[in-house]
Amino acid sequence: MTSLSLKEIATKVGTLEREIRLRRSILEVIPEPFLILDEDANFLKVNPKAMEVLGYPPEELQRLTLIDVVPLEDLYAIREGFEEMRRGQEVRFKTQIISRRGERIPVEVLGIHREEGFFVMLRDLRERIEIEEEFERRKKEFAEKIRERDLYARELQVVRNLYKEKLKEIDGMREEALRLSYTDDLTGIYNHRFFIEQLTLEVERQKRYPTPLSLLMIDIDYFKNYNDTNGHLAGDQVLKAVSILIQRGVRQTDIVARYGGEEFSAILINAGRQKALEIADRVRRNVAETRFPNESAQPNKQVTVSVGVATFSSSVSSLTDLIREADHALYRAKKRGRNRIEG
């Protein structure tokens, strides 16, 4: 075997260190508990959210396996899930995680297998279960009060007061339902419906009180290739991370939405063409400078976005004109090499 020179060894060590930094960067962006396990389910890497849920310091986790933090009654289901992942399937099942404090935390496990090991995301179900239990408790309580009202006339006023309280809760639930109807399930940002409604309002407002108004259409370059190479779970994490990076690139007064698939939009209020181009380039750089897992397999060797910019003017004077102009600019950015802005 040919021995490596000191220079070759240093190069390999540097490459390995960069790979570690890249993975740490994207792990810290993921807002949910995320684990990387080896073939024996030993903990290789966990993100800060996972350490918070598990309650173990990193040095203790390195001496444990996933089997050490799950209940015995769930071992069979977990082994089945890992076998399915080894066969190339993405898995999703529910179990419990036992924290360092002994607390049993209900979670949903989403996992895939890659050459590096198992990539596992945990969704904490405690809040959802608490909400469901609280809802059932309150529903039963309300029904009991209604029964008491029918039985005991003297408690009629008490029941009426309770009814008013419940109406307030229902109004709150309606408001929450309305908020959710405007929110994209995966990324948590506004959805296409809200984008269209808000852009319509801004265009009408601009006609009455002329102020600069611009629109960004943002598309992840070669996203299908990333999905096909890394699986939909990894693709979903990229969508979430990119939505966060876009929000960091725009201003607080701007409105960011998921337009559809891997395409996002941003309504830039009180922003002329030059300001819109500056914001667009900031968004582009935010994504290009962030490291994503296995992005070297992309055709351009990294995860990037292309951005189309359009600004309201005498020739671009309607919602349709603004979207069409931004779409055309995005098409030019794609055609001229990607990872660029046009407008």
Which residue would you say has higher pLDDT here, 129 or 103? 103
Mean pLDDT of 152-170: 68
The pLDDT of residue 9 is 43
Whether residue 107 sits in one domain with residue 156: no
The pLDDT of residue 232 is 92
Residue of 121, 50, 116, 118 lying closest to 92 (CA atoms): 121
Mean pLDDT of 52-76: 87
Whether residue 143 sits in one domain with residue 120: no
Number of domains in the chain: 3
Over residues 207-230, the pLDDT tens digits come to 888 889 999 999 999 999 999 999
Do 95 and 78 form a contact (C-beta atoms < 8 A)?
yes
Whichever domain contains 197, its CATH number is 3.30.70.270
Q: Which of 65-79, 123-137, 167-181, 287-301 has the highest mean pLDDT?
A: 287-301
Asked whether residue 26 carries a pLDDT value surpassing 70, the answer given is: no
The pLDDT of residue 200 is 92
Residue of 270, 277, 272 lying closest to 249 (CA atoms): 277
Using a pLDDT cut of 70, give the percent of the chain over it.
83
The pLDDT of residue 172 is 65
- State both tokens at 136: 């059932």
Q: Which of 57-61, 78-82, 153-157, 159-163 has the highest mean pLDDT?
A: 78-82
Residue with tokens 């667009």: 280
The pLDDT of residue 269 is 93
Using a pLDDT cut of 90, give the percent of the chain over it.
43
69 in any annotated domain: yes
Whichever domain contains 94, its CATH number is 3.30.450.20
Q: What are the start-end ranges of the E strands in 63-189?
A: 91-98, 104-114, 117-124
The pLDDT of residue 156 is 62
184 C-beta neighbours (distance < 10 Å), count: 21
Whether residue 156 sits in one domain with residue 288: no
Question: Is 262 part of the annotated catalytic residue set?
Answer: yes
Residue with tokens 């310091």: 57
Q: Would you place residue 155 in the very low, low, confident or very high pLDDT band (cuts 50, 70, 90)? A: low
Whether residue 217 sits in one domain with residue 315: yes
Which residue would you say has higher pLDDT here, 177 or 293? 293
Residue of 114, 117, 76, 119 lying closest to 95 (CA atoms): 76
CA 15 to chain centre: 29
Whether residue 335 sits in one domain with residue 208: yes
Q: Could you tell me the residue range of the domain that residue 107 belongs to? A: 31-124
Length of the chain: 343
Q: Would you place residue 21 in the very low, low, confident or very high pLDDT band (cuts 50, 70, 90)? A: low
Mean pLDDT of 331-342: 95
Whether residue 106 sits in one domain with residue 161: no
Mean pLDDT (the chain, rounded): 85
Q: Would you place residue 7 in the very low, low, confident or very high pLDDT band (cuts 50, 70, 90)? A: very low
d(CA 289, CA 284): 9
Do 301 and 226 form a contact (C-beta atoms < 8 A)?
no
Q: Would you place residue 41 in the very low, low, confident or very high pLDDT band (cuts 50, 70, 90)? A: confident
Pick the range with the lowest mean pLDDT from 9-23, 58-72, 127-141, 260-274: 9-23
Whether residue 131 sits in one domain with residue 155: yes
Over residues 293-325, the pLDDT tens digits come to 999 999 999 999 999 999 998 888 899 999 999
Residue with tokens 């979207």: 323
Question: 202, 262, 295, 342: which is the annotated catalytic residue?
Answer: 262
Q: What are the start-end ranges of the E strands in the chain?
A: 34-37, 43-46, 91-98, 104-114, 117-124, 213-220, 255-260, 263-269, 305-311, 341-342
Which residue would you say has higher pLDDT here, 133 or 70? 70
The pLDDT of residue 44 is 86
The pLDDT of residue 173 is 63
Q: Would you place residue 247 in the very low, low, confident or very high pLDDT band (cuts 50, 70, 90)? A: very high
Whether residue 220 sits in one domain with residue 150: no
Whether residue 295 sits in one domain with residue 165: no
Which residue would you say has higher pLDDT here, 136 or 259? 259
